[in-house]
Homo-oligomer: A and B are copies of this chain.
C-alpha cells in the first residue's frame, strides 16, 4: 500500500505531549465511564477507512449523549490542548475523520433524536447523529421528506459538516440550502446558535453557512434545524440510453436550461452501466445512460416527462424506459446508490478511490469525455457517474495498490482531473469536501487571499488549532 502524502506540518512536533493525552483521557473516563473507549479496533474504525489515505486513528473515542456532554468533552480537551475530531458515520471520502495529530474522536452516534417536527413550517430539529434514512422513516407518516441523498446513510451532522449534496441536489439544493440553523459547540466550549427558525434572515454574518462545509474545523454541530418538503403527489422516472456521453450531457444542459424542474438526473458511463448490471443483476442497455426522476403533481410530472422525452429524442437518445412502479424505481435507485460497490466489484483486490469534481454545465461533456480518454490512455479502470444536472461527476478509480506503476499513473490522473476541472472554471470537489485529500488543490482553485482568509477565520475561532486539525486549510 502506497499512501498518498498528506500535507501537514511536522506531525510529531504538533502532536500533544503523551501526558496531556493521558490526562485528558483520564478526565474523560472519570466523567463518561464506558462511553470512552481506547480499543484499537474502535479507534481505527473512527479514522479514514474509505480511501487510500492512511488510517490515522484517534487516541480515544467518546460517545456523548447530549450537547452538554459535547461541551464537557471539548472543555476537557481544550484544557489539555488535545485535538478533537467530530465523527458521524465515517462515510466521508477525503480523510475528514482522520486524527493526524491523535486526540479524541467525538462520535455523535447516540445523539440520534428527532427533537421536533414543525409540519406547518416544513422544518424539523434533529440531533447530529440522526441519519437521513432514519429521519425519512420518522417523517413518512406526516407526508414529509428530507430530500438530500448522498447515497450513504450518512448522519445529518456530518452531512452539514461536509456540505453534502447528492442525487437530488439539482432540485432541492445542498446542505447549505436546506439548513436553517445550527447549534454548535465552539473550541472554547461555548454553545452557539447560528440562527433562529425563520425561513430567512439578514441578521449579521451567515454563521450557519460558515459552519456548513467547515468539516468540524470551526465547531462541532450538536443540533440542526432542517427544511423539509411534502412528499410529492406523483413521482415518475426511468432510464434513457444515449449514443455518447456528449449527447447525454447536451440533453441535460437543455433540460436544465428550459427549466424542467427535474428532481434527479444522473449520468452513468458505459463501464458504470456494465458494473451495475453485473452487481445488481439488471439488464440495462450498456451505453451511456441518464437516470431521471420527476416530482410534482400528476399533471406536472406527465408534462415534465413528455418534454424531457422530446429533448432526449432531439439528442439521439432513447427510448426512454419508464419505471412506473415504485418498486422498480426503488430497485433502480438502489442500483445507482450501489454504484460504488458495483464499481469495486469490477476489479477485485483493488482499492476504490472515489473523487469528484464539478464544472459549469456547458463544459461537462468536454470534461467527462476528456477524462474518459485520459483513463483509457493511462490504462486505468475508472467508471464515471455524475449528478450532471449540477455539472458534478465522480470517478471511481480502481487501483491495484501493489502495482507501483499503476499507483503512479492513478495519482497523475487525479491531478489532471482536478487541473482540467479548474481550467474549466470548476471546483476540485463538488460535494466530497477537502479533508486531507484535496488540501493541495485549494490554493490553485481559490488563490492565496482566500486561503489566507480561511486560515484567519480558523485562527480566530480555534486559536489553538484543536478542532479537526490538519483538514481544509493549513494553520496561519
Contacts and interface: CB of A to CB of B under 8 A. Distances in A.
Interface residues on A, range: 35 or more
Interface of A: 118-123, 162-165, 169, 173-174, 176-177, 186, 190-207, 209-210, 212-214, 218, 229-230, 232, 253, 256-259, 261, 297, 299-300, 303, 358-362, 390-392, 421-422, 425-434, 438, 441-442, 445-454, 456-457, 459-461, 472-473
A204 B200 contact: no
B213 A204 contact: yes
A207 B210 CA distance: 7
A82 to B, nearest CB: 22
A459 B446 CA distance: 22
A460 B473 CA distance: 15
A442 B207 CA distance: 13
A157 to B, nearest CB: 16
A207 B303 contact: no
A259 B196 CA distance: 23
Contacts of A473: 204-205
Given A202-B431, A427-B198, A442-B204, A259 B229 contact: yes
Contacts of A425: 196-198
A453 B207 contact: yes
Contacts of A446: 192-196, 203-204, 207
Given A118-B360, A459-B460, A460-B457, A450 B202 contact: no
Contacts of A191: 449
Contact of A193 (B297, B421, B447): B447
Given A191-B449, A253-B120, A206 B198 contact: no
Contacts of A441: 203
A152 to B, nearest CB: 15
Nearest to A164: B202
Contact of A199 (B192, B303, B361): B361
Given A204-B434, A204-B472, A390 B199 contact: yes
A165 B201 CA distance: 9
A449 B173 CA distance: 28
Contacts of A174: 200
